[in-house]
Amino acid sequence: MSQSRDLVSPSRRDVLKGAAATAAVTVAASSALVGSGQSVKAASNVVRGYGVTTSQLKDWSIMEKAIGIKMEFTGTNADIGTFMRDVISNDLGETHDIFIFDGGTEDILGPQGYYSEVIEDHPELSLWARTSDDWKRTDLQQDGSGKQFGVPVIGNADSFGYFPASIGANPNGLDDISWSKMYEDEETKGRVAMDRSWLLSSPEVANYLKHHGRAKIEDVANMTGEEARVVADFAAERKRAGQFRTLHAAFEEQVQLLSTHEIDIINCWEPATKEANNILGPNTVMYAFTVEGYYKWGHGAYVHSKALKRDNVDNIYKVLNYYLSGEYRAYQATQRGYAGPNMDLGVKYAEDNGWPEAQVEELKWTEKKVGKKFEKPFFGKPAAPNADVMEEEWQRFLNA
């Protein structure tokens, strides 16, 4: 591992640091002369995180009260290009300890030495052993060779939001709805919004075609150029047929399209339906259980290899452990509707701390819901080896 860390090339920041070294030497010498130099810097109780905004607690002071660590978090969206740029080119590992992003980035950033392997027997990571392998030993947290780079934080199986009355579905939202409502239904024609991103939409279309035997695709999350072309051709044909009202690109757009009822059905993040229902009323919009399967994603917490050279590794691991705890799980599920590892601890935390029965039931439902979804095929690989060709083929759909 140490060898792979050495692969991290000198960054612009490193070069600047070198240039600043002379000045630093002068300052240090001055400090030593006046006896104010600190030979050992006291360990900081601040841990700096960078990553997807929705992985945050809405109030980090809850964590500070629980484990005494203050989180300074810089949020970003789910744009993998931006994230990669910030980690690789902008060298955020110099200033940030933990990175939270879609599982899959470790396939690239792990072997290249940006992420460090999880120290599974670290004393502060006490909840690691009881965390289910379903969450931690997956290709979302391990690289291709099985090295463990990520600690699971949150996850979900994504599908689509819909207005039951508009598509003739059971209003309780418990029926399995076919993705054909998204792509080929005359009833929804012109009333569908699809995510512009190849990462989400391309595998979803592929899974639909594969499920119905209309395309031979080995791995819908990592398609070859030929497979991705079939998917793009189908999507382009449906686009020309007028199936889609719009192709959206942001979470805020998802909420707006739902809350104005501009569309009847939309592949989106589950919190978007929650936000829309806050405006339209409870259960106006449902998040689908599907016939064919789901887009699987899971955010992992990754420790930058440079952070291991700093003096707050114990605190970093305390935070990693907190991500596996019942308190984080309970708040995250309540605030965002997302599931995650050790859901049972979340339910227990809510019960032990006297949360209202409705919230406890909601937590239990979140656990059941994810279990029900994971009975179906699920897929998703943000940093798939064939990502380049998949993105290129998806461009043909976008430009059709």
Partner 1 sequence: MLDYSRKDLISDIRAWYTTAFSGNWVVPAFVAVWVVLVILPLVVMVVHSFFEMKNYQVVYDPSFKTWDTLIETGRWTAVTRTLRIVFTVTLIELLVAFPFALWLAKVCQSKATKAVIITLLTIPFFLDPSSRTIIWRAILGNTGIINTVLLELGIISEPIEWMLFSEFAVHFGMLTPYFPTMVFPIFLVVNLIDDDFLEASRDLGASPVHTLWYIILPLALPGIVAGIVFTLVPLMAAWVEPDMLGGGFVNMLGPSVEAAIRNLKYPMAAALSVVVILMLAFLLVMLIVVMRKQGSMGNIFHAMKR
Binding residues for partner 1, rule: CB under 8 A, are 79-82, 84-85, 88, 108, 190, 196, 239, 244-249, 256, 260-262, 383, 385, 387-388, 391-393, 395-396, 398-400
**Cβ 108 to partner 1 shortest distance, Å:** 6
**Cβ 305 to partner 1 shortest distance, Å:** 18
**Cβ 183 to partner 1 shortest distance, Å:** 15
In this complex, which beta carbon is closest to partner 1, that of residue 162 or of residue 317? 162
Cα dihedral 378→383→389→393 (10° resolution): 50
In this complex, which beta carbon is closest to partner 1, that of residue 53 or of residue 260? 260
In this complex, which beta carbon is closest to partner 1, that of residue 16 or of residue 400? 400
**Cβ 169 to partner 1 shortest distance, Å:** 21
**Cβ within 8 Å of residue 43, ≥6 positions away:** 311, 312, 314, 315
**Cβ 110 to partner 1 shortest distance, Å:** 12
**Cβ 374 to partner 1 shortest distance, Å:** 29
In this complex, which beta carbon is closest to partner 1, that of residue 100 or of residue 192? 192
Are 55 and 154 a contacting pair, CB within 8 Å? Answer: yes
In this complex, which beta carbon is closest to partner 1, that of residue 156 or of residue 273? 273
In this complex, which beta carbon is closest to partner 1, that of residue 57 or of residue 84? 84
Q: How far apart are CA 34 and CA 21, in angstroms?
A: 20
